[in-house]
Chain A
Amino acid sequence: GAVVSQHPSRVICKSGTSVKIECRSLDFQATTMFWYRQFPKQSLMLMATSNEGSKATYEQGVEKDKFLINHASLTLSTLTVTSAHPEDSSFYICSARWTGRNNQPQHFGDGTRLSIL
């Protein structure tokens, strides 16, 4: 079945560091990928929609200069958390869906647990 790979799975770093997270669709092409954030005991929150070859679409309240998204190929999207601070500590999850039909489910990466000290 469809597989989405996300890397790294765990990051612990100092405040002020920029952190890059990769999301790859392994056996299908995805012109669109999605980035979510989830705080403990809370729902998934869509941060942005990553579009191959064009700018990402950010949800209201999400700073595009803080969360840089690059979708350079049909199988790779990256999220960079710039100058991360403790309040950015969260579980970041990407997802992708097979392009072409809207009746396909999203497939999620394993998630990245980010801890900023």
Chain B
Amino acid sequence: RKEVEQDPGPFNVPEGATVAFNCTYSNSASQSFFWYRQDCRKEPKLLMSVYSSGNEDGRFTAQLNRASQYISLLIRDSKLSDSATYLCVVNEEGRNAGKSTFGDGTTLTVKP
């Protein structure tokens, strides 16, 4: 089982749709979680951190469920520019502290 798992998609949605991605992680000791987006042929860029109480940044909402060991990203009112690959990232703890584990990414295509 992978340490961080994401549904690879692709998710194809119309403009204005609401779409949600989930990500599960295997290490229950994990404390820090992030969502990144990566555009084609570009580097990953930090989208938002994920806080225990859940957090929102404009059209984007991130949530953490420690009991079930998953995090989610909700995108409301999708724009064409939201088309990208979304990466779930978990900072490792313990002997691997300092490293991050990346999911394989979920691809989103928003269509007119």
**Chain A residues packing against B (C-beta within 8 Å):** 32, 34, 43-44, 46, 49, 91, 93, 97, 102-111, 113
A54 to chain B, nearest CB (A): 13
Residues from chain B with Cβ under 8 Å of A46 in the complex: 99, 102
Closest chain B residue, CB of each to CB of A51: B98
**A102 with B49, Cβ < 8 A, contacts A44-B102, A93-B43 known:** no
In the complex, whether B89 has a CB less than 8 A from a CB of chain A is yes
Q: Which of A32, A49, A106, A109 has the most CB of B within 10 A?
A: A106
Given contacts A43-B104, A102-B32, contact A108 B43 (CB under 8 A): yes
In the complex, the answer to whether A111 meets B43 with C-beta atoms within 8 Å is yes
Interface size class of B (residues with CB under 8 A): 20 to 34
Q: Is B12 an interface residue (CB 8 A)?
A: no
Q: Is the CB of B98 within 8 A of A111?
A: no
Q: Which residues of B contact A (CB under 8 A)?
A: 31-32, 34, 41-46, 49, 87, 89, 91, 93, 97-100, 102-105
Beta-carbon contact of A34 and B99 below 8 Å: yes
Residue in B closest to A94 when the chains form the complex, CB atoms: B43
Q: Closest chain B residue to A42 by CB distance?
A: B104
Cβ 8 A contact of B98, one of A43, A93, A102, A108: A102
Contact of B49 among A49, A105, A111 (CB under 8 A): A105
Partner among A103, A104, A108 whose Cβ is within 8 Å of the Cβ of B44 = A108
Q: Which residues of A contact B32 (CB under 8 A)?
A: 102-105
Q: Flag if B43 contacts A102 (CB, 8 Å).
A: no
Question: Is the beta-carbon distance between A106 and B93 smaller than 8 angstroms?
Answer: no
Report chain A residues within 8 Å CB of B99: 34, 46, 49
Decide yes or no: A106 and B31 within 8 Å by CB, A93-B43, A111-B43 being known contacts: no
